[in-house]
Amino acid sequence: MSIFEKAFDWFDQQAKEGKELTINWEGGNDEGWCHFEIDGETCQNEHTELVIDKMYDELDYGSWAGNFYAAGEAIYDPKTKEFEGVDECGTEETYSWTCDPVIIRVPKKFPFDVVDIQTESEDCDTSITLEGLTRFQHPEELKYFESIEKSVSDNIIKSIFKQVGKEKDPAGYWFNYRIAKAEMIEDGDFLVGKLHELSAQVSEDEDRNMNINLKELLENE
């Protein structure tokens, strides 16, 4: 009995026992892998390695290098003798748009040269800090920025969505904005800066059907 025939029988036996057999994969941006699961638990043996190697060939991502992401699973169907699934793959690019300005207000009593606004995650989590060549941290600084970061985050999201509409759906907000003190305008006890150009990451998806037919493997042995 050949290695493919042994694998064929082994997969069928697992299926007859009511177990779910899946090939799973995930990767992109220079790393990725496939693995085999039985009822959600990783399983590795000579039989699973045969179909894992075949799935690597079908996915054809090589070393997984490049600005993309991919994930999916193929489930074994004992009736068709196939692992069938979908590769959910796509790219993610950073886009910038001229939007309604997002206002940043900083008390004049805080010493600084530059306001640094960092956005990250799918929820646009925002942190605001001050920078300067010779400066100390004002005792009210941390509490003040914590109080406005959520509203700044909401305004960034709102402004981007108003500009792009349904044309592009941001998948993440990983960006860094900087406003020099010299560019800000005085308004009473505050210095006011504006973010006119906003950025976000946009996913462009392309799903692919993935099938490994054990009958074909056996016939082409």
For the chain, give every domain's residue range: 3-91+205-219, 93-203
Rounded to a whole number of angstroms, the CA Rg of the chain reads 26
| 3-class secondary structure, 158 | helix
Angle, alpha carbons 22-204-98 (nearest 5°): 150
State residue 91 phi and psi, 5-degree precision.
-115, 160
Q: Do the Cβ atoms of 112 and 135 come closer than 8 Å? A: yes
Q: What is the mean pLDDT of residues 186-193?
A: 97
| 3-class secondary structure, 9 | helix
Give the count of alpha carbons within 13 A of 168, CB side only. Answer: 19
What is the C-alpha to C-alpha distance for residues 53 and 205, in angstroms, rounded to an integer?
A: 25
Task: Please determine, for residue 132, whether its predicted confidence score (pLDDT) is greater than 70.
Answer: yes
Q: Sorting pLDDT into bands at 50, 70 and 90, what band is 166?
A: low
Of 15-24, 91-100, 104-113, 173-182, where does mean pLDDT reach its minimum? 91-100
Predicted pLDDT at 130: 97
| 3-class secondary structure, 66 | coil
Predicted pLDDT at 150: 97
Task: Give the position of tokens 């990767």.
Answer: 27
Q: Do the Cβ atoms of 55 and 74 come closer than 8 Å? A: yes
Predicted pLDDT at 3: 83
Q: What is the mean pLDDT of residues 17-35?
A: 95
> Shortest CA distance to 83 belongs to which of 37, 125, 114?
37
Q: Sorting pLDDT into bands at 50, 70 and 90, what band is 168?
A: confident
Mean pLDDT, the chain, rounded, equals 93
Q: Do the Cβ atoms of 104 and 130 come closer than 8 Å? A: no
